Amino acid sequence: MPQEPLLIEERPGSRDGVHILKLSGPIVLTNLFDFQAKIRANSSPALILDFTNVPLIDSAGVGALVGGYVSREKSGRTLALVGVNQRIKNVLDVTRVLSFFRMFNTVEDAEGIAA
């Protein structure tokens, strides 16, 4: 599974200032550079990462996610995660970064962060 590519679909949210990255595949060292670049390049006030089709994340992926969170937080922009499975929540918990992230069940629920 870690050799699978990470597909990233970008789209605007249904509200102004919201941007969505729909992720499909594992977020691991071998495929995270495009993910990391897209988070860094995104200047929208609210970014939603849809993890519904992400089966796992490794420590490099966690590092990229935390880096994106810190960058957005410093500039007053928000980051929300959607559809995070229990396996990924466990990784974020063990690495003591779970509390950094606002998590939602659906993209529609998360779009309220732009308010």
Give me the pLDDT at residue 115, please.
Answer: 47
Domain extent listing, the chain: 7-114
Give me the pLDDT at residue 104, please.
Answer: 95
Q: What is the model's pTM?
A: 0.92
Sheet holding 18-24, edge to edge: 7-12, 18-24, 46-53, 78-82, 102-104
* Cβ-based neighbour number of residue 113 at 10 Å: 19
Fold of 7-114: Transcription Regulator spoIIAA (3.30.750)
pLDDT, tens digit, 9 for 90 and up, residues 34-89: 999 999 999 999 999 999 999 999 999 999 999 999 999 999 999 999 999 999 99
Mention every residue, 6+ apart, whose C-beta is less than 8 A from residue 49: 20, 21, 23, 39, 65, 79, 80, 81, 82
Give me the pLDDT at residue 3, please.
Answer: 72
Give me the pLDDT at residue 54, please.
Answer: 97
